[in-house]
Amino acid sequence: MTFLRRYAAVLALSLLGSAGAADTLPPSIQAITQARREIIAVLPQVGSEAMAQALKTAAGKGTRVFLITERRTVKGGGYLLTVSHGPSSIRTYLYAGQISQPWVIVDGAWGLAGPGLDRSAGGDLQIFRDGATLQRLNTWARQVTKAGPIARPDLLKLRYSK
């Protein structure tokens, strides 16, 4: 069994074996911090401190982090500035539309989806590994990121302007 399969199996068992929604996030966070190549994180509000720290931790190890969040939530609080002003391997993109569900793809091989990724209160998470879903989400992310990331000073201006 390859490392990735063993890793995904352990992650799946830990997620499925947890008693409640609040217990599902810590194993996911740990798995995200172990990304080697890249993370695509689509978080409508960047509302989870644990997720923000996981993304910064992964970026601190050299992993490229592509954070996509809703443009309208820039002024709404959350942990957007915490993440976007982390290591230089973090790129922040503002999406003009509404994001219906948070999701994260790790190293292009597997992903997580569910409200628990974007809320401190947690929530149900689903692991996905099927190629069609990964391809569809990657295609969407490429389209959103095509225009380029928002510069950090510009993000601060948006956040604190009247």
Q: 57 falls in which pLDDT band (50, 70, 90)?
A: very high
Residues in Cβ contact with 98 at an 8 Å cutoff, skipping those fewer than 6 apart: 44, 70
Q: What is the CATH number of domain 27-160?
A: 3.30.870.10
pLDDT beyond 70 at 101:
yes
Q: 9 falls in which pLDDT band (50, 70, 90)?
A: very low
CA distance 66 to 122: 22
pLDDT beyond 90 at 83:
yes
Domain locations along the chain:
27-160
CB-CB contact of 68 with 40 (8 Å)? yes
The crossing angle, in degrees rounded to 10, of helices 25-33 and 3-16 is 160
Whether the pTM exceeds 0.85: the reply is no
**pLDDT for 125:** 85
